[in-house]
Chain A
């Protein structure tokens, strides 16, 4: 219980931090007016700019501006997109389902592929299978997602014409972005599963289980794998951060209509409020899911519950 309370308090601090960072983005260059108006400022008179500044409240003290920023944000007001002629919040929320769909698909894909392959290579150390998995792991951790995406497009989209290279709608559209986004976490999970299993197979309780005459199959699945999955569960939270961050790149390459592509597009059109709203949203989702994972973890693992 104490742990849960402390973890909740930590989340509050994180959310506060996210708000500070998001608010601070405006002031990075020293002049928030310039950030928001972008190139548009060139076409405005000095008076118009002054008027805009007063209207946005940039002449007020920072603390007041921050309080007003948080107050509005709590009501879902993240400013107005002058490009989309729509509140920034709506622009982002509309794109959220697509991003979640892609991230969830990549997440499931990474687990479904990495754990069996990790088990396979750990149970057959130093065989061809093991070497192939190790090579795959190294490649997955070293090939950046944007190049992997381009290679997939070149091969499956341009050469073989099996899969659409851009857009969304059918399951076919999901395949390449999903693989691209999943590649890195997949490699890491494979590596984690393999090393964790190899580690556990050396432990005494596994040797005892073998000595008792339990079938090798049962030893591997009931004793080794169950224990080996713990470090992977721990890594899941971080993985989500990677998936959300990576979605920015993958969505851009494959024209996937999600939050990430929207942010990149908004950067291009200097639509600041949309960038800000997108960053806040992804950071909050990340913090929220991490909190959820930690709480589930407490529930699952009594050691934390008691030791906290």
Chain B
């Protein structure tokens, strides 16, 4: 027996360093990724710490101090760094609370569509047949509506509201996940290790969830990052059109909708919220690109 030759650990060429340090190293090497992460960290801190960070009450209506420019100080000595809106509410405070609404909607909707898309994609890819046909036809139908139009129509009937908005964006957003997961599963289920799991005597659902699922996380994470960005834009768009969150809720979209009416009179109402959306979305996109290239550069062709 000459097996002993193989007892030594594999040579360094086939034993890369543990993944975590590789991730960190590659991350720090990318300036865009680091800057994006900082921007997102700021947004996250604003969202989580809104009640403590906001200098004024974002809901307090005081018509006497309406449409004041940035830096205005009221009689009580409170400074309004970004001015006030048409109802005399503090723009900066609303901006900070807006981060909260943005992230709550984007993340919750993302989770809903992710879970639905992941499950449908797994099942339809693995079992195929009639289930696959039905799921894919539903996806086709849904893709025949521009997403924003479908969401708009549903919100128009349901009426505005944070919970409804999350539900609508969550339920309409699954197609992307579903399609990409299905494609991955179709490829992976041909792999010999899946056959090996069957030969072992594993149950079907264990094969699906314990053997196949861990191999589809990369594209799901990448899709999630891009969905995060599109959800933030969708929330702002629908709120801007008046069918997103209810108008009194401080959201970047509602702030822009309010400010639009005072364009040319009070541009401080539209600049900060628009900048906040754009920077957040830009950062997520950059981070998503980086994540995709790190996790699996081959995804570049499909995402």
B53-65 vs A, Cβ < 8 Å mask (1 yes, 0 no): 0000000000000
> Counting chain B CB atoms within 10 Å of each CB, which of A147, A158, A253 scores highest?
A147
Complex: how many Å from CA A25 to CA B153?
8
A290 interfacial by beta-carbon distance below 8 Å: yes
Residues of chain A lying within 8 A (CB to CB) of residue B141: 13-14, 16-18, 20-21
Check if A44 is an interface residue, CB within 8 A of chain B.
no
Chain B residues near A138: list those with CB within 8 A.
282, 285-286
Say yes or no for B240: interface residue by CB 8 A criterion: yes
Contact B146 A267 (CB under 8 A): no
CB-contacts of B252-303 with A (<8 A) = 253, 256, 259-260, 263-264, 267, 270, 273-274, 277-279, 281-282, 285-286, 300
Cβ of B157 < 8 Å from any Cβ of A?
Answer: yes
Q: Assess whether A143 is interfacial by the CB under 8 Å rule.
A: yes
Give A264's nearest chain B residue, CB to CB.
Answer: B241
Contact A146 B285 (CB under 8 A): no
A38 to B188 alpha-carbon distance, docked (Å): 51
| Contact (Cβ within 8 A) A241 B240 | no
How distant is B70 from chain A, measured CB to nearest CB, in Å? 16
Q: Does A71 contact B (CB under 8 A)?
A: no
Option from B140, B157, B279 in Cβ contact (under 8 Å) with A10:
B140
A151 at the binding interface (Cβ < 8 Å): yes
Q: How many Å from the CB of A238 to the closest CB on chain B?
A: 8
Pairwise interchain contact B270-A245, C-beta atoms closer than 8 A: no
Q: Which residue of A lies closest to B242 (CB)?
A: A268
Interface of A is mostly: helix
Q: What's the minimum C-beta distance from A39 to chain B, rounded to whole angstroms?
A: 11
A142 and B282 in contact (CB under 8 A), knowing A151-B274, A154-B270, A244-B146? yes
Name the residue on A nearest B236 (C-beta).
A144
- In the complex, what residues of A have CB within 8 A of residue B229's CB? 142
Q: Smallest Cβ distance from B206 to chain A, in angstroms?
A: 34
A282 within 8 A of B: yes
Q: Is B101 an interface residue (CB 8 A)?
A: no
With A21-B150, A35-B157, A252-B241 as known contacts, state yes or no: A147 contacts B256, CB within 8 Å.
yes
Question: A150's closest neighbor in chain B, by CB?
Answer: B270
What's the nearest-Cβ distance from chain A to residue B257, in Å? 8
Chain B residues with CB under 8 Å of chain A are 137-138, 140-150, 152-154, 156-158, 229, 233, 236-237, 240-243, 253, 256, 259-260, 263-264, 267, 270, 273-274, 277-279, 281-282, 285-286, 300
CA distance A244 to B145 in the complex (A): 9
- A242 CB–B CB distance under 8 Å: yes
Contact partner of B149 among A28, A35, A139, A279, CB < 8 A?
A: A279
Q: How far is the CA of A242 from the CA of B300 in the complex (A)?
A: 21
Q: Does A141 sit at the interface, judged by CB under 8 A?
A: yes
Closest Cβ–Cβ distance, residue B106 to chain A (whole Å): 13
* Given known A10-B140, A248-B149, A264-B241, contact A146–B236 (CB-CB < 8 A): yes
CB atoms of A249 and B237 under 8 A apart: yes
Contact A246 B278 (CB under 8 A): no
A14 touches B149 (CB 8 A): no
Tell me which residues across on chain B come within 8 A of A28, comparing CB atoms. 154, 157-158
Q: List 15 A-B contacts (CB under 8 A).
A: A13-B141, A16-B141, A141-B285, A142-B285, A146-B237, A146-B253, A151-B274, A244-B149, A245-B147, A249-B240, A268-B242, A272-B157, A275-B157, A283-B145, A290-B144
